[in-house]
């Protein structure tokens, strides 16, 4: 049985190209929606609509930036679970 600490971790950098493409496409789409909506939405509802679209764009960008860290946290928790399940021995 191999020790989880000696197995090299699968790095997320190899999958960053697709994540970058998804984020670029979603960001471009949201900016296009925002651009087209500015001409069609009444002035009194504009701030609420723009706030919602910008919040969605911010969420997409935050998820893009946090994804590698979240993957590393899952690996850390899995390793911790293995160590605690084994009686806490190193």
Residue 3 has pLDDT above 80, yes or no: no
- Which pLDDT tens digit goes with each residue over 49-86? 888 888 988 888 887 777 666 777 788 888 888 888 76
Q: What is the pLDDT of residue 53?
A: 84
Task: Return the axis-axis angle of helices 46-85 and 16-40, rounded to nearest 10°.
Answer: 160
- Which pLDDT tens digit goes with each residue over 8-49? 555 555 567 777 888 889 889 988 988 888 888 888 988 898
Structure tokens at 90: 């190193």
CA separation for the pair 3, 7 (Å, rounded): 7
User: Cα 63–67–70 angle (5° rounding)?
Assistant: 115
Q: What is the mean pLDDT of the chain?
A: 77
């Amino acid at each position: 049985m191999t020790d989880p600490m000696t197995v090299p971790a699968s790095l997320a950098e190899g999958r960053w190209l697709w994540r970058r493409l998804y984020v670029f496409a979603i960001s471009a789409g949201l900016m296009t929606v925002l651009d087209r909506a500015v001409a069609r939405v009444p002035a009194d509802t504009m701030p609420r609509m723009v706030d919602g679209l910008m919040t969605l764009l911010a969420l997409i960008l935050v998820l893009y930036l946090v994804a590698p860290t979240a993957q590393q946290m899952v690996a850390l928790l899995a390793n911790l679970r293995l160590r605690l399940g084994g009686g806490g021995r190193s």
